[in-house]
Amino acid sequence: MEAALVELFSDELNLRMISAVTEKPRSARELALLLKIPVSRTYRRIKRLEVEGILGVKDRVPSGFGKRENLYESRLITFEIVYEVGSVRLRCQVEGRPAVTVEEQFRDEILAKLQMPWAESSHAPPPAQVGGPAPTA
């Protein structure tokens, strides 16, 4: 579970899906309509979140097409991402599993890119004042 958490929780669509089933249990079809994605794509994401224990089947209900469909719910108890200089730490508690903490150090090239705007702004001249007095020589 640890290796996949950062990737799963870095994806906006996964977060929206988890949020939707936290509000109330929903079927894959309901999620697809709500998230405006194909049902097949919804099932793939649900399966991945199920494997990691984040989603689970709450109930099976008639689908209206002569079959039954699963209603999914979130099994996520707590979730936290902390960004610090040079690293990201993720803490996650899923129902029925021990809490997981994952910490990843940024590689030097990524850290350099993240720090570049700050380094450039500290050496830049101060912005000119609009409508203020003209500079003197």
**What are the DSSP calls for 80-120, one per residue?**
EEEEETTEEEEEEEETTS--EEEEEEPPHHHHHHHHHHHHH
The 8-class DSSP code of residue 37 comes to: S
Indicate the Cα dihedral angle 20, 24, 39, 95, nearest 10°: 80
Give the pLDDT score at 106.
67
Q: Report the distance separating Cα 32 and Cα 41, nearest Å.
A: 8
Q: Report the distance separating Cα 12 and Cα 77, nearest Å.
A: 19
120 band by pLDDT with thresholds 50, 70 and 90? low
For residue 131, pLDDT beyond 50: no
N residues, the chain: 137
Percent of the chain at pLDDT exceeding 70? 73
- pLDDT (tens digit per residue) in 80-117: 888 777 787 888 898 988 888 888 776 666 556 656 66
Estimate the share of the chain in helix, then strand, then coil, as percent rounded to the nearest 5: 40, 30, 30
Domain ranges (residues) in the chain: 2-75, 78-121
For residue 35, pLDDT beyond 90: yes
| Residue 4 or 34, more confident | 34
Q: Which two tokens stand for residue 112?
A: 């350099």
2-75 has which fold? Arc Repressor Mutant, subunit A (1.10.10)
Q: At residue 102, what is the residue type?
A: V
Buried b (16+ CB within 10 A) or exposed e, 9-25: beeeebeebbebbeeeb
